[in-house]
Every structure is written in structure tokens, then in C-alpha cells.
């Protein structure tokens, strides 16, 4: 009877271990966006995104919109108040998972990946995909990548007199270092 | 007639210089001046959890807040430094206060578990909207911080 109990216990530990995911959380991350038109190019950087990732390829980003820093004060004010309405929509979120390679599993070394999911920004949800790399070295995971978004998809209107300065297509670059989540 | 033309020219020049001044004005590195709110980080977080999101955000986001708390971790960096603070609530809360590198000199003597008073611009609180979220913590973000002695 004792023997069966030990086998049952070992089997439970094995199955629970196989089913649960290791969650990694960002310790250092930044997101940079670039707007480029024939007349003007500018960028803003945000050092405060929080990113979570599992060894099975689930990923989530949360980005406080007001943490984007611009070089010019006037641009920052317009971005926050007029375009992103950040007091109404203070965060941008992304939830998705690795779709390429299929049945992704995190392993040591570098892997090229395609991630797909839903981004919520300015109160609008939209399906997006991004390409990037995930690199695992012992306990540290580094992810980086980029993708484009159209401001019009998120109901962010550019005033007519700024149409030459701000591109409707914004390129977003991200890079993050992650470590296994510590239990509290 | 000549006089009127001269006045118009001066007014146009003043408007142009003012416009250029505002256009090239750099973004502030710290949220200085008087704080809009002074409160404990626990009070702010509890209000964020209990109050309707849009009311809370329109009250506090982009405002200058002075608050005190205990340091749980500190990272000093050339691009941006950051202090994380402990919060005594039942929820898991991460408070992130970002500092411009120009403030690094004031951060050098701060250690984990020190009590600090910061003045920052508040960027918002984010609550998990789904129990299955990978990001299950409440995240509170500040930037342009400075240490108040």
C-alpha cells in the first residue's frame, strides 16, 4: 500500500511539473518607437514596460503610456494629451504567444520567433504579430524584436496640420532581460 | 504708415521667437516645484484599487506626487535609474520610481530597506484585468523622480 502511495505521489509531481509553466519577469526592459515622414523623424523611449513570458511561449507586456520620454516637451505634451489621451487610457497592453516555431519550448541558445496576439491601446483592441529573437543563457532570458502599428487602427487621429510631421505608421522596437519569477 | 509696418514686424518677430522657444523647449528631467499631492504610497495604491479607474486616473495621472516608502531594490544606470518600493497591502504591488541619470548622485547612498521620500510625476496604476494574467501584480509607475531630503 505504501509502495502505491509513493508511486502515486511521484506521478502527481511529474504531471504537475510537466503541466505548469515557468514564468519569467522583466528585470530591465525598454520600448522605443520611431515616427518617420519625409519632413521629420522623431523617437521616444520608455524604460518602464513590465513583461512576462513563459517557457511555453505565452507573453504579456504592460506599458505605462506616460513613461514615454521625448526630447521636446511640446511633443510629449501633444503625445500624452491629444493623441494617446493618457489620463483616460494610461496603459497599453499586449497578450499573445509564440506561433512560430510551432509548439515552442524555451531552450538554451537563440531562437527566432514570431509572436501573435492582441494589443490594447487607446481603448482599442487589435490583433498584431511581431518577429524577434529569444535568447536563453542559464537563468536569464533576453528578448528583442520589432513591429509596426498604424495609429488609425487605434483611433489615434493626427491633426491635419501635423500630418507632415507624424507618420501614421509607427515602428516599435523592444528589448528586455527577464529572470524566473520569484515566489513571494 | 511706416510706424504701423514696424510694429507689425516686431509683433511677428516676437510671435516667431515665442513659437520657437516652445517648440525647442526640452522635456523636464525632474518633476520639481510644489507637489500636487502628498500621501503615503499605501493610500495611493488602496485608492487606486477601490476607486473607479477613470476617476482615479483623471485625478492623479500626470500630477506631481510626493510619497514615502521603503526601498525594496535600487538600480543605478546611465540611461535611467530606478527604485522599487515595498507596499504593505494584501495585494502584490510593484512600485517603480524612475530617475533621470542626473539624479544618480542622490541615489548612491540609498540601500535596500532604507526609507525614502520621493517626488515624481505619476504615470498610472495598472491592475490585472484577468485572474489568468501572467502579470498578476498591481503596477504603479512614476517617472522624473527626485529624492526629497
Rounded to an integer, what distance in angstroms lies between the CA atom of residue A171 and that of residue B114?
40
Question: For A33, what's the count of Cα atoms within 13 Å in the CB-facing half-sphere?
Answer: 23
pLDDT above 70: percentage of residues in chain A = 88
Chain A interface residues (partner B, CB cutoff 8 A): 23, 28, 30, 47-48, 50, 52-54, 58-60, 62, 64-67, 69-74, 76, 80, 86-88, 90-91, 95, 184
Q: Is residue A155 part of a domain?
A: yes
Do B134 and A91 make contact, defined as CB atoms within 8 angstroms?
no
| Helical ranges in B1-149 per DSSP H | 2-24, 41-50, 53-60, 104-107
pLDDT of residue B17: 81
Check whether A9 has a pLDDT greater than 70.
no
* For chain B, domain boundaries: 37-147
State the total domains in chain A. Answer: 1
Average pLDDT over residues B105-129: 91
CB contact under 8 A, A86 and B75: no
* pLDDT above 70: residue B112: yes
3-state secondary structure of B40: coil
Any domain includes A15: no
Confidence band (pLDDT; 50, 70, 90) for A2?
low
Q: Is A34 a member of any domain? A: yes
Domain B37-147, what fold? OB fold (Dihydrolipoamide Acetyltransferase, E2P) (2.40.50)
Enumerate the residues of chain B whose CB falls inside 8 A of the CB of residue A50: 94, 135, 137, 139
Q: What is the DSSP string of A24-39?
A: EEEEEEEEEEEEE-SS
Identify the contact set of chain B against chain A, taking CB-CB distances under 8 A: 22-28, 54, 57-58, 61-62, 75, 79-80, 82, 92, 94, 96, 98, 121, 123-126, 133-135, 137, 139, 141, 143
Q: Strand A50-54 relative to strand A58-64: parallel, antiparallel, unpaired? A: antiparallel
Residue at A44 is within a domain: yes
Confidence of residue A184 (pLDDT cuts 50, 70, 90): low
Residue A52: inside a domain: yes
Q: For chain A, what's the residue count?
A: 184
B-interface mutation test, from A67, A71, A117, A175, most B Cβ less than 10 A away: A67
CA distance to A134, A180, B32, B67, B92, per residue, from B70 (Å): 34, 24, 22, 11, 15
pLDDT digits (tens, 9 = 90+) for B2-25: 888 888 888 888 888 887 776 777
**Cell 525647442, residue located:** B24
Tell me which of B55 and A172 has the higher pLDDT: A172
In a domain, A1, yes or no: no
Q: Which among B98, B124, B133 has CB closest to A91?
A: B124
What pLDDT digit, counting tens, does each position of B131-147 carry? 778 888 888 999 999 99
Query: Residue A153's domain is classified under what CATH number?
Result: 2.40.128.110
User: What ipTM goes with this model?
Assistant: 0.79
Q: Cβ B124–A60 below 8 Å, yes or no?
A: no
The pLDDT tens digits for A11-23 are 554 444 445 689 9
Domain containing A119 equals 22-180
Q: Residue A51: inside a domain, yes or no?
A: yes
* Rounded CA separation B143/A124 (Å): 25
* pLDDT per residue as tens digits for the range B62-90: 899 999 999 999 999 998 899 999 888 77
Confidence band, pLDDT 50/70/90 cuts, at residue B126 = confident
pLDDT of residue B67: 94
Per-residue model confidence (pLDDT) at position A3: 62
Amino acid at each position: 500500500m505504501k509502495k502505491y502511495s509513493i508511486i502515486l505521489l511521484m506521478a502527481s509531481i511529474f504531471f504537475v511539473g510537466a503541466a505548469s509553466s515557468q514564468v519569467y519577469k522583466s528585470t530591465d526592459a525598454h520600448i522605443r518607437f520611431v515616427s518617420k515622414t519625409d519632413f521629420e523623424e522623431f523617437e521616444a523611449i520608455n524604460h518602464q514596460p513590465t513583461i512576462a513570458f513563459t517557457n511555453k511561449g505565452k507573453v504579456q507586456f504592460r506599458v505605462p503610456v506616460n513613461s514615454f520620454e521625448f526630447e521636446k516637451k511640446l511633443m510629449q505634451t501633444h503625445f500624452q494629451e491629444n493623441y494617446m489621451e493618457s489620463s483616460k487610457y494610461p496603459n497599453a497592453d499586449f497578450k499573445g504567444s509564440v506561433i512560430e516555431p510551432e509548439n515552442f519550448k524555451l531552450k538554451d541558445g537563440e531562437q527566432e520567433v514570431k509572436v501573435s496576439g492582441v494589443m490594447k491601446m487607446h481603448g482599442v483592441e487589435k490583433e498584431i504579430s511581431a518577429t524577434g529573437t529569444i535568447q536563453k543563457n542559464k537563468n536569464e532570458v533576453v528578448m528583442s524584436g520589432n513591429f509596426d502599428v498604424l495609429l488609425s487602427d487605434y483611433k489615434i487621429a493626427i491633426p491635419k496640420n501635423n500630418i507632415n510631421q507624424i507618420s501614421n505608421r509607427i515602428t516599435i522596437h523592444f528589448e528586455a532581460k527577464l529572470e524566473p519569477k520569484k515566489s513571494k | 504708415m511706416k510706424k504701423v509696418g514696424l510694429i507689425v514686424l516686431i509683433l511677428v518677430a516676437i510671435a516667431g521667437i515665442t513659437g520657437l522657444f516652445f517648440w525647442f523647449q526640452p522635456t523636464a528631467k525632474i518633476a520639481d516645484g510644489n507637489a500636487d499631492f502628498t500621501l503615503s504610497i499605501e493610500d495611493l495604491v488602496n485608492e487606486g484599487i477601490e476607486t473607479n479607474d477613470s476617476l482615479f486616473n483623471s485625478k492623479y495621472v500626470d500630477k506631481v506626487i510626493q510619497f514615502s516608502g521603503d526601498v525594496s531594490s535600487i538600480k543605478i544606470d546611465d540611461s535611467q535609474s530606478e527604485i522599487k518600493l515595498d507596499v504593505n497591502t494584501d495585494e502584490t504591488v510593484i512600485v517603480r520610481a524612475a530617475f533621470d541619470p542626473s539624479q544618480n548622485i542622490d541615489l548612491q547612498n540609498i540601500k535596500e530597506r532604507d526609507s525614502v521620500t520621493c517626488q515624481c510625476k505619476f504615470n498610472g496604476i495598472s491592475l490585472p484585468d484577468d485572474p489568468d494574467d501572467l502579470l498578476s501584480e498591481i503596477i504603479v509607475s512614476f517617472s522624473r523622480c527626485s529624492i526629497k531630503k
